[in-house]
Chain A
Amino acid sequence: MSLLPEYRDPSKKKEYAVIGKSKPKIDGPEKVTGAAKYCGDLKFPNMLYGKMLTSPYAHAKILSIDTSEAEKIPGVKAVITHKDVPSKKYGISPARWDENCLCIDKVRYVGDKVAAVACVDEETCYKALAAIKVEYEPLPAVLDYRHAGDEGMPNIHEEYPGNINTEIHQEFGDLKKAFEEAYYVRKDVFQGQRAYQSPIEAHCAISMWNGNKLTIYSTTQSTHYFQYYIAREFDLKMGDVRIIKPYIGGGFGGKLEPTGLEFNGAVLAKITGRPVKMFYDRADMFYHNRGRHQGTYELTTAVDKNGKILGVHANFILDGGAYTSLGIATAYYAGALLPLTYEFDNYKFDMYRMYTNLPACGAQRGHGAPQPKYAFESHLDNIARDLGIDPLEIRLVNARKPYTTTVNSFDIQSCELKACLERVAELSDWRKKKKEGMPKNTGIGIATGAFVSGAGYPIYRNDWPDASCMIRMNEDGTSATVYNTTVDLGQGSDTVICQMAAEAMGYRYENMRIISGDTEAGPMDFGAYSSRQTLMSGWAAKRAGEDIKRQVLNMAAAMMGLPPDDLDARDGIIFSKSHHHPTKWQPLTYEEVVSQYCKLYGPLIGKGMYKVHATGGTFKGAAVGTSPAYSFCVQAAEVKVDEETGEIEVLAFYDVHDCGQPINPMLIKGQVHGALYMGMAETYWEEVHFDPKTGVCLNPTLGGYLLPTALDMPKIIKNEIVDSYEIVAPWGVKEVGEGSTNPTMGCFRNAIVDAVGVTINSTPITYEKVWRALKDKKEGKQPAEIKMPPPPANAAVKPY
């Protein structure tokens, strides 16, 4: 299907031995039997427990902190405040390091870190925290991001006047001209909500020192970033910081940056000379947050009479919360990824990410993309309706083609978006349903999405390889161990890395072992974020595997008396490609060859690395959103709306993905189902609520913050992948999973609008919201309009 077949791997149609097969998860038995140990399960001799005291005010000066009473409580081993920790500001986005281990002069949200204790048990921690006396002078708080930049609002960070955290203005092509020449121009404003990742496993860190060497067991998505940032905070050499990742119970972007648990835990461990375990409970997780930004999204699009997009103006404002976290990237991603799925030549992107006195927002599955994509897919359906064009057709008209470059300089190689659209149309019987109509109050909606397969540039500027990998054969050849620092969050990266390594080696998946996520055991890899591991860490694993195979074939060549070029390996058997004889040149096993190698030369080790090629343009912010390859997907949903209650039943859901060549189809299905789950959850249910006067979180529990249950999932889920091969990726792979959240909200919204013809421009689309929209429609009332807030008073540039 690709336009340039000569670039396709000639071996593609070959039957692979290990990849492309639904191999069982390598950690499945440990996880289902409970043998797998997570950070919270770990205990060490003499270990203390640590907890943090957090601010009850959204915005307040700290006048004094008195820890004397807390220190007297038996079992309290250390009490620390800002005086005991480095005052160096930290953060994950280098351009804005704005967070302290413990607040110095003021607190900036309910939940901000004020003090920490280490005690003999958890109960004593709470007693100690209750005995710390903090005198605050409450300040007026900024709780509505839409007015955070208004004249006269209190300033949250002195360094950032007017509460502007990030301001972006990008323009490509000639948008004014496109608008002037357009057949039709439409403007819509949409709004999204604050959501939280809600991983099953709570954050935890166990810190311990051996002289000047710091070891931290942590729930992390990136051992390298933790190692780097923790070394930086404490002025340690990176080699003196060891980060170990035990099994992880989900992250979804929320565990990418070190937290007060690591920084303060390390200080408490140093002071007490004992291991200190610090951990969040569910409420702490909601306050630490780093979840989905909420925002208001104004989109203005010019089209010709066929619905072909001529130009787009995206004007967005985000609620960043009290600190930057990964928010600069979020802000850039929000606009940068919009031109991926549809081709247009004129684009303007304006963005303000505002500081507020609420928990900091960060990267959540899909990063900055899902809410803007929801807005754009809704907006595109509105345009299609205005022009009388079928929503499928308007997407086909605009769909990106392979080997193109986006208006903002992203190079696209493989892209089977059109094939995805056509296949979803077939699976869902779209055209028939559109022609013949659907039963009353039922509707169907469609939306597209695209995502990076790994960020083109690391989070902090460096030129280390993006991924590296080492494989060591057990001396007798009966097993091979992969050493790297990838992070299996549950998505199955350990499994696919081992599949890819085994395929490259010509070895057996069943004999693969992996030690991932220990900075002292494996070479550097940036970890699990931006959907990077299958492509980037996969390259490193493939190359390490090929390095092993080369050495094994060389050894076997000597043993068999044949040239190495004539040999190949598959399933652990080394054989001649040309010599077939009943007695001579008999195939050898990996066991025989590796044993011989190790006896003669010692350890048999393979290594591999991967470095992204130069990507993207040269304008400010051009790096964000670049990637070696982009995945594409299309989703459609059929819903039924209960007119009287607004309740929505999802009748069927369709997902077709261009994720390159699959490594493990079962895991792809798992990713798509998981993404659907999260996408549905953000469509209908999830919303973190805050008291609008105090900034206190109103639902920081799993009883109050509703996630869907198995019963809420659609009964019919059809997902498929299309034939696709990415030339820059190992075996043609691309991301799947994170990007699948991008179309979901939009396709559900479009299905609801199709079913009942109401205007709903904000998420979550609660049943009450649908009911109210229906009621307004019945009563002939205009739906409540969402207004784009004015640009911040302090903005450097204000959009036209």
Chain B
Amino acid sequence: MYIPDFEYYAPDSLDEACQMLAQFGGRAKVLAGGTDILPKAKTFSPIAPPQTPLPEILVSLKNLEELKKIEYVPGKGVVIGALATHNDLVNSELLNKKYMSISEAAHQMANNQVRNRGTVGGNLINAVPSADLPPILIALNASIKLVSVDGERVLPLEELFLDVCVTCCTEKEILTEVVIPDQKMTGSNYIKFGARRSGALAIAGVAVAVEVENNVIKDARIVAGAVAPTPIRTKKAEDFLKGKEVTAELLEEAGVIASGECKPITDIRGSAEYRTNLVRVLTKRALRKAIDQGHV
């Protein structure tokens, strides 16, 4: 197994990184953990050629310490640096206290080795449909910041994803942070369904966030992964829940509606029909858990 030759840069500042990307254009890609880009570029044997050829140039962000932080900024929310690793999310005291559901979602990803290397930014920009972080982050209404030599823009995370492995982040831009705004939501969580308990891609995954007061759902966000080209919000199910009293039947019905909103494919991990069923079941269960456990 080997990796083809490439040029490698590890800039010391975000400015420098942005300038490099502006200069190299489409020839360069950002390296932020490398758990996707590097294995996919490896030749394992002539019979398994690289899935994605490596770009000519890799710009590593590993020296940008400021992008590794997870902190609370009053008035803004919890800021997760794009270079925080999955295990940083798992172990962050701040997240454990404020958004346990994010730590739990991160813990369900891949395996310990990948969680040590892989980063939030890498996971988001890689944009595979089965990614485990986007559903819970979107459910908590996360926004992201994209920075380039031309300036910066902030947008809701759910607008980042355009198609399978396609995002609106341009060649020149670097995703620098994810912000979880202060919540009115009272509960949230992500349920992943994989064929085995560790190191399996999601056959389907559903994240929910709910605001419940006196057993009435005031607000709900439901996001499904691995059942469409991008993570999708099942807005009909969200609207259906709003203003209604929590009952088992209500959650069941919300699951049915949500399952009608996904557009899964059939592959070796599962059929479209099975995935649709999973969205129904996982939505119901995630809602129940979010409501019962009473924390986000």
Is B47 an interface residue, CB under 8 A from the partner?
yes
For B1, B45, B193, B199, the residue with the greatest tally of chain A CB atoms inside 10 Å of its CB is B45
**Would you give the shortest CB distance from A126 to chain B, in whole angstroms?**
5
Q: Known contacts A122-B2, A281-B48, A284-B47; decide if A768 and B199 are in contact (CB<8 Å).
A: no
Q: Considering the complex of A and B, which 5 residue pairs feature the smallest CB-CB distances, nearest first?
A: A283-B48, A711-B197, A281-B44, A709-B198, A768-B274
Instruction: Identify which of residues 33-90 in chain B touch chain A, using a CB-to-CB cut-off of 8 Å.
Output: 43-48
**Would you give the shortest CB distance from B248 to chain A, in whole angstroms?**
13
Instruction: Identify which of residues 38-84 in chain A touch chain B, using a CB-to-CB cut-off of 8 Å.
Output: 51, 53-54
Is B100 an interface residue, CB under 8 A from the partner?
no
Q: Are A287 and B47 in contact (CB under 8 A)?
A: yes
Q: Are B199 and A645 in contact (CB under 8 A)?
A: no
Instruction: Identify which of residues 196-226 in chain B touch chain A, using a CB-to-CB cut-off of 8 Å.
Output: 196-201
Query: Total A-B pairs in contact (CB under 8 Å)?
Result: 71
Which residues does chain B contribute within 8 Å of A130, judged by CB atoms?
A: 46
How many residues of chain B are within 8 Å of chain A by beta carbon?
23
Q: Are B43 and A126 in contact (CB under 8 A)?
A: yes
In-complex Cβ contact of B195 among A110, A111, A685, A772 (8 A): A685
Is A23 an interface residue, CB under 8 A from the partner?
no
Which residues does chain B contribute within 8 Å of A647, judged by CB atoms?
A: 193
Which residues does chain A contribute within 8 Å of B277, judged by CB atoms?
A: 644-645, 771
Interface string of A117-132 (1 = CB under 8 A from B): 0000011001001100
A701 to B281, CA, bound (A): 30
A51 to B1, CA, bound (A): 11
A709 to B197, CA, bound (A): 7
In-complex Cβ contact of A712 among B43, B196, B201, B271 (8 A): B196
Instruction: Identify which of residues 697-755 in chain A touch chain B, using a CB-to-CB cut-off of 8 Å.
Output: 698-701, 703-704, 706, 708-712
**Would you give the shortest CB distance from B71 to chain A, in whole angstroms?**
32
**Would you give the shortest CB distance from B264 to chain A, in whole angstroms?**
12
Interface majority SS on B: helix, strand, loop or mixed?
A: loop
Is B296 an interface residue, CB under 8 A from the partner?
no
Nearest chain B residue, comparing its CB with the CB of A764? B195
Is B270 an interface residue, CB under 8 A from the partner?
yes
Is A430 an interface residue, CB under 8 A from the partner?
no
Size range of the chain A interface in the assembly: 35 or more
Is B278 an interface residue, CB under 8 A from the partner?
yes
A700 to B47, CA, bound (A): 10
Which residues does chain B contribute within 8 Å of A772, judged by CB atoms?
A: 274
Q: Are B2 and A771 in contact (CB under 8 A)?
A: no
Q: Are A51 and B46 in contact (CB under 8 A)?
A: yes
**Would you give the shortest CB distance from B267 to chain A, in whole angstroms?**
9
Nearest chain A residue, comparing its CB with the CB of B200? A706
Is A280 an interface residue, CB under 8 A from the partner?
yes
Which residues does chain B contribute within 8 Å of A280, judged by CB atoms?
A: 45
**Would you give the shortest CB distance from A128 to chain B, in whole angstroms?**
10
Q: Are B48 and A712 in contact (CB under 8 A)?
A: no
Interface string of A761-800 (1 = CB under 8 A from B): 0000011100110000000000000000000000000000
Q: Are A709 and B196 in contact (CB under 8 A)?
A: yes
In-complex Cβ contact of A126 among B2, B195, B201 (8 A): B2
For B47, B193, B195, B197, the residue with the greatest tally of chain A CB atoms inside 10 Å of its CB is B47
Instruction: Identify which of residues 244-296 in chain B touch chain A, using a CB-to-CB cut-off of 8 Å.
Output: 268, 270-271, 274, 277-278, 281
Q: Known contacts A123-B2, A685-B195, A711-B198; decide if A698 and B45 are in contact (CB<8 Å).
A: no
> Can you name 20 extra interface pairs (CB under 8 A) apart from A281-B48, A709-B196, A709-B197?
A110-B47, A122-B1, A126-B43, A129-B46, A283-B44, A283-B45, A283-B48, A287-B47, A644-B281, A645-B193, A647-B193, A689-B268, A703-B199, A703-B201, A704-B268, A708-B196, A710-B198, A712-B196, A766-B195, A768-B270
